[in-house]
Every structure is written in C-alpha cells, then in structure tokens.
Amino acid sequence: MRIFRKAASALAAVLLTTSGATAGDFSAFQSLGFSPDGKVYAFEEFGVQDGSGFPYSTVYFIDTEKDAYLPGTPIRVRIDDEAADIAKARAQSRDKAKALIETHRVFSHPGVLSAFNPMGEVGADRGRIEYLQHAVEPVPGGSFALALEEIPLPLSDTCRDITPEGGKGFRLKLVRRDGAAVDTVVHEDTRVPESRACPLSYQLSGALTFHPREGGPVHVALVLVRSFGFEGSDGRWIALPFRP
C-alpha cells in the first residue's frame, strides 16, 4: 500500500504540473426523462475515457422519493477498444436499459431543462443557479435558486496522496422557492463515495423540473463533480431529486 501511495503521489505531481496534461474526460450529459408520476428520473452520461481512449455510456435510473438508484442500475457499458465508436457504446447501454425505459415511460415525459451550464461558461457562478420551473410565457410564479457549498470530509486511503489538500463533499440548499427566500438543505454529504474517484471540486450545473398530472412538482439538481483523472481532471454527473 505504501508503494502504491508513493507511486500515486508521483503520478499526481507529474499530471498536475505538466503543461500538456490537459486531456481530462468530461462526460456529456443527456436527460432521458421522468416516469408519469415523477417517481423515477433517468439520464445518460457518456464519453471517451482518458488514458485508455475507451468509449463508455452509463444510464442512471433514480428513485426520486428515496434519492437512490433503482435495483440493477446504473447500467454501464465500456468498450475496451480505443478504435470503437462512442455511438456503439451508447447503443449498447440504451439496449440494456430498454426494458426500464419502456416500463417507466421516461421518453414520454422529458420535463423541463430549466437551467444548464456544463463547464464552459466564463464567469459563471459555480456555486449558485437560479431558474424558473415552467417553460411558458408569461411565467407563472417566481424563481427557484440553489446554492452549493463544498465541505471538508475524511480522505480515503486511495485518495490520501492524490488529493493531499483534503477530502471534499458538498452541501446543497434551496435558497429561493417560488420567488421567496428560504434556507432548506436538499442534500449534505456525510462521506465521499468511492464512485467519485478523489473529487477535486463540485459545480452546480443545472436544474430540471417536472409536473406530474397528480402530485406536486419534482425538481432535479445537476452537479458536475471534477475528480482526479489519468490525464487531467475528469467530470461526472450527479442528479439530486427533491420536492420544493
């Protein structure tokens, strides 16, 4: 383990200080939609893995009441061939997800992508996003706003030498509801999941809304997590459902 940590530390130093180490892998995001009752939300992230060059696609199905993955998901596909087309990986993941897509009818209920800023907008506030929940004009009601705050958490053994400045989680709050100021915690990490692969930072990157025919609206906050990668920072998506 000591040898591994020394090697990881050396690799981190090289990758973070070499001017050419800028080829990190940031996943593309594709919202798939909601179940008719809003109890399930699905999305896909896909890209080409840094280092290996292997195309991948992952389809997530989230129980919006429990904020948990549906059993048997996420559905992950990676083609271990750098010459493979990313479209092939996406087709395979969609094929594997077909039964769940049809059962929950997510393609029939896309919801509203109310705000979206993946990574590239210069000067954007990465810790706050404000949006309207209806895609009509004149807009009924007021705006909603979310605020993200990074919080220190214990490091895993794997990440101790890769991110020596400390472990990072985040707290997400709803700070405006229908035009009025509020202070409601939507999510707060108590640990850093291994799936985040030594996170470096978090960005509040979007929001979706959906209004079922029966029941209250469902909102989904989109958080982009930047983590340590082989050739630079990697970016992956976290979708956090809540009912405002």
The domain ranges of the chain are 2-242
Query: Residue 15 has what pLDDT?
Result: 37
Q: What single letter denotes the amino acid at residue 45?
A: E
Average pLDDT of every residue of the chain: 88
Tell me the pLDDT tens digit for each residue of 164-186: 666 799 999 999 999 999 999 99
pLDDT above 50 for 21: no
Q: The whole model's pTM is what?
A: 0.87
pLDDT above 80 for 112: yes
Burial of 190 (0-12, 13-18, 19+ CB in 10 A): exposed
Given a contact cutoff of 8 angstroms between Cβ atoms, the answer to whether 46 and 59 are in contact is no
pLDDT above 90 for 8: no
Given a contact cutoff of 8 angstroms between Cβ atoms, the answer to whether 175 and 183 are in contact is yes
The percent helix, strand, coil of the chain (3-state, each to 5) is: 15, 45, 40
Burial of 138 (0-12, 13-18, 19+ CB in 10 A): exposed
Strand arrangement of the beta sheet that strand 144-153 belongs to: 128-131, 144-153, 167-177, 180-188
